[in-house]
Amino acid sequence: MEVSIFENSKDVFLDTVNARDYVQLDRVSTIYQSLKDSVNKPLKMILLFGKPGTGKSMFLTKLYNDLATTKTVHLYQTPILDDSEFFKSLAHDLFNVTYQGELNFTQFMKIIEEHIVDDIPIVLLDEAQLYSNTLMEKIRLLSDTRKVKFVITLHKTEKEDLIAKEHFQTRIWETIELENASNMELKIYIQKKLMKSNCFDTANMFNKSAVNLIYKHTNGNYRDTNKLLYTLF
């Protein structure tokens, strides 16, 4: 029986991005609501940044699921690094235009000019630090048309902070930073994840001293915590 309990608990901490796994913490929920509110305001671009494992991909996935029934929204979880393929994907997803052959930035701008949309499409770009500087500059210029809204995520490092300042300083409507969990937030995070999967007995195991030990090893990073607990279980 104990083996079964721990097996179920292990699966709770699989390193996957699924909106159903979103855990509601007061501070995190406030930040997420701010993100949703920003999408509804006139904007060119929203930047969501933080260290790896702070929940950026989860935020984008949840945002996509929450907006998909009422808005035109597209999520690119895996960056498309080839410029032509990136613009061809946008042309197809945003304007239902299938383009044969290479599609460059100038040609895509013409497609934008030819299409009038009542509902401005929202493009969610995860892992934007993987895009080239050239493509990031083109994304910035696309945002200036105000015919496409972008929400992008960047890892918080000195390099990516510099990229954000160079490319988007005058164009970002809002910048939202995600951080690691506090000690108390980490305890709530672990217990809520387990209880959502009906692992109540296991959730009760995580008392203050147990969470303190986990926090010491992960510093409150959600991804590192998931990996550690998956390994332990």
**Look-up of token digits 């105000």:** 146
1 pLDDT more than 70: no
Q: What is the rounded distance in angstroms from the CA atom of residue 29 to the CA atom of residue 36?
A: 10
Arithmetic mean of pLDDT over the chain: 87
Could you give the percent of the chain with pLDDT greater than 90?
A: 52
**Look-up of token digits 């998931």:** 226
pLDDT at residue number 115: 85
pLDDT in tens, 217-232: 999 999 999 999 999 8
What is the token pair recorded at 197?
């999967």
pLDDT in tens, 109-136: 999 998 877 788 999 999 988 998 899 8
pLDDT at residue number 229: 94
Helical packing angle, 158-168 and 133-144, nearest 10°: 40
* Predicted TM-score of the model (pTM): 0.86
177: part of which helix (H) or strand (E)?
strand 172-178
The pairing of strands 149-155 and 122-125 is parallel
Query: Could you tell me which residue, 38 or 163, shows the higher pLDDT?
Result: 38
pLDDT at residue number 39: 87
pLDDT at residue number 25: 86
Maximum CA pair distance of the chain?
A: 63
Q: Which of 40-44, 106-110, 174-178, 208-212 has the lowest mean pLDDT?
A: 40-44
17 pLDDT more than 80: no
pLDDT at residue number 80: 93
CB half-sphere exposure, 162, CA atoms < 13 A: 4
Q: What is the rounded distance in angstroms from the CA atom of residue 204 to the CA atom of residue 211?
A: 11
Could you give the percent of the chain with pLDDT greater than 70?
A: 90
Q: Residue 51: name the closest of 218, 187, 188, 177 by CA.
A: 177
Dihedral sign (CA 225, 226, 232, 233): positive
Fold of 26-178: Rossmann fold (3.40.50)
What number is the average pLDDT over the span 133-144?
89
Q: Which of 35-49, 94-108, 160-174 has the lowest mean pLDDT?
A: 160-174
Q: Where are the domains of the chain?
A: 2-15+181-232, 26-178
pLDDT at residue number 172: 59
Confidence of residue 154 (pLDDT cuts 50, 70, 90): confident
User: Amino acid identity, residue 100?
Assistant: Q
